[in-house]
Structure 1
C-alpha cells in the first residue's frame, strides 16, 4: 500500500531541454519537477504527514487534526506506508489530485483558524466543496458560509446546485433564499446538470411558498400593534382615510381604510414582493424610489410628517416580519401540491 488517495495526472515532459525545470499536467498547468513546501502554517518541520498536491507543493500537516475531522484521512493514515511514500526526512507523504490553491483553502477550513479563506471565484469555492465532500469532513465549519457569502449573492443558482450535489443542505437553503431576489429562474448554469428535476422542483415550490408567506394576511392596513403600539398615521389620519358612514370613532374603528397615497405605494410594493418574495426586496431601487418620492405627492401635513418620522420605522418592522416568515421555510417540503403563481 502506498497511502495514495488518487494517482495524480502523469506529467508530460517538455521537449525543450533548455527550458525551465517543469512539466505540464493533463490540464496544461505547469508542474515543477522539484517539490517545494507550502507557506505558513503548512511548513512546520515537526509535522507528522505530508500532503503533496498535483502541482508538487508539499503541505506539512498534523495527522491528529485531519483524522479528527475526516474518517477518510483516518483510513489513509492507518495504511502501511512504503519507503517510496516518504519524503526526505521520513515523513509519510500522501499524493492528492487537488492543486495547491484548492488544498490550501481546504486545509484552512480544516484547521482551527479564526478567519475564513478567500475565494477569488465560485469555481475555486466549488473545488473546495468537492474536496470537503470527498474527504467526508464530519463538521460544519462556521468559516465555510462566510467565505461563500459573496458567491451566494452573485451566483445563487450555481451555489444551490453545487450544495445539493455535495450534500451541504444548510448551504443549499441559504442559496435558495438568495434566489428569491431573482425574478427569473430560467437562466442556465452548468451546475444544474448535477441535480435532479425533483431538486429543481423543490426550489420552485420553495419560491411559491415564499410568495404565499409574504402576501398572506399582508394588506395595506397591516399594523403590528405588538411591535408598534401607536397605529401608523396613514391608517388613522382623519384627512386622508375614509370611513364607513356608520363609523363614529375613526381612531379606534375597524374600517379597512388607508390613505390613498399609501394604498398606491402598497400596490407597488406587493408587485415587487410577488416577483422577489424576500425582505431584501425592501431595499430594491423600485421600492426605495417609491418611498422617497411619496412626500411630493402628499398634501396632508399629518401624512407628510409621518413619511419622514414613521415610514422608516414601518419599513424596518415590515422587513423583520418578512424575514421571520421566510426563515420558517425549508426545502424539505412535500411536492404533491401543484404549483400556483
Structure 2
C-alpha cells in the first residue's frame, strides 16, 4: 500500500544512509537516526526498539520507519538537542514549547534541560513571564528565579492588567510565589532610601549640607554614611520618598534611571545659588550608589521554593 503523503529526507545530520532507524514526522519528513543515540537519551525509545518493528520499510533500504506524532520542525530541533555536537535554535517560543512537550513525552530529561537553557538564552528579554510559567511547569527553579527577577521590571505586577501569555499553564501557587517575590523585592528596594548608612562617603554634599542660601531644608534626619544623622534638603527628601514609591511598584535599577523625580530634584536644587554648583555631579554619584544598593538588596530576596 502506497503512502498518502510524499516523503522527503531531512537535512543533515539526519540524512545518513547508514542509519538503523527512521523517524517519520507527521508532514512526511524522514529522519535517519541511530537507535543507540535515542536509546541513551530516551527510555521510551529504548523500550520501543525492543519491540518488533512492524511499521513501514524505507523505499531505499530495509531500515524500519517509525511514525511519530511531531511535525518536522519540532522533531528536528528535538533530535538536534539529542546530538552532542549539534547546535539548535528556536524560531519562536511556541516552537520551544512544542519541543519541550515532546521531550517530556519521550522522557528525554537531558534534552528537556537543554531546551530550557536554550529558551532562557533566546527569549528571556521579552518573554520572561511565559518563561517563568514554563520553568515552574518543568520544575526548573533556577530558571524560575531568573525569569522572576526580570519580572521586577513590571510595574505593579499583580494588577488585573498584568495578564500574560502562559498564564493558563501556571498554577495559582506558582503565580502567588511570583507576586510574593515581586512584593518582597519592592519592600526591600523602597527601604534603601529610609537610611543612607550604606553610603561609602566622608564628605558633605548639597543633599544634606546646610547652606546659608538654601532654605529648603526638611525636618527629616537620616543616617548618612559615616557622617552620622543629618537633616536632608527638602528637594532631596521628596526625591527619596517618590523614588521609593516607584521602587516598591517596580523594584529594579532601571526605575531609578528612568525616574522623572531625578531631574525634578535637580531643578529644585538649582534654585539655590550655592547648591546649583555641585548638585548635578553629586546627584549623579548618589544615583549610581543608589542603584547599586537597590541591586544588592533585591539580589538577597529569593523566589520561594515550590512545595
TM-score bracket, shorter-length normalisation: 0.7 to 0.9
Structure-2 separation of matches of 1:267 and 1:190: 34
Where does residue 135 of structure 1 map in the other structure?
106
Structure-2 separation of matches of 1:162 and 1:252: 46
Give the C-alpha shift of residue 106 in structure 1: 2.4
1:278 aligns with 2:252: yes
Give the C-alpha shift of residue 255 in structure 1: 1.5
Structure-2 separation of matches of 1:143 and 1:306: 52
Structure-1 separation of matches of 2:299 and 2:236: 27
1:159 aligns with 2:131: yes
RMSD between aligned alpha carbons? Answer: 3.7
Structure-2 separation of matches of 1:142 and 1:321: 34
Give the C-alpha shift of residue 53 in structure 1: 1.5
Where does residue 182 of structure 2 map in the other structure?
207
Give the C-alpha shift of residue 275 in structure 1: 0.9
Determine if contact 1:234/1:306 at 8 Å carries over to the other structure: yes
Give the C-alpha shift of residue 272 in structure 1: 1.3
Determine if contact 2:41/2:108 at 8 Å carries over to the other structure: yes
Alignment of 1:120-199 (within 5 A): 120=92, 122-139=93-110, 141=113, 144-149=116-121, 151-182=123-154, 183-185=156-158, 186=160, 187-189=162-164, 191-199=166-174
Determine if contact 2:196/2:225 at 8 Å carries over to the other structure: no
Structure-2 separation of matches of 1:54 and 1:190: 27
Q: Normalized against structure 1, the TM-score is what?
A: 0.69
Structure-1 separation of matches of 2:42 and 2:204: 55
Where does residue 27 of structure 2 map in the other structure?
55
Determine if contact 1:243/1:255 at 8 Å carries over to the other structure: no
The SS at the match of 1:60 is: strand
Q: Which runs of 5+ in 2 are unaligned?
A: none
Give the C-alpha shift of residue 38 in structure 1: 1.7
- Structure number with higher helix proportion: 2
Give the C-alpha shift of residue 163 in structure 1: 2.8
Where does residue 243 of structure 2 map in the other structure?
269
Give the C-alpha shift of residue 273 in structure 1: 1.0
Structure-1 separation of matches of 2:204 and 2:100: 48
The SS at the match of 2:109 is: coil
Give the C-alpha shift of residue 189 in structure 1: 4.5
Determine if contact 2:100/2:115 at 8 Å carries over to the other structure: no
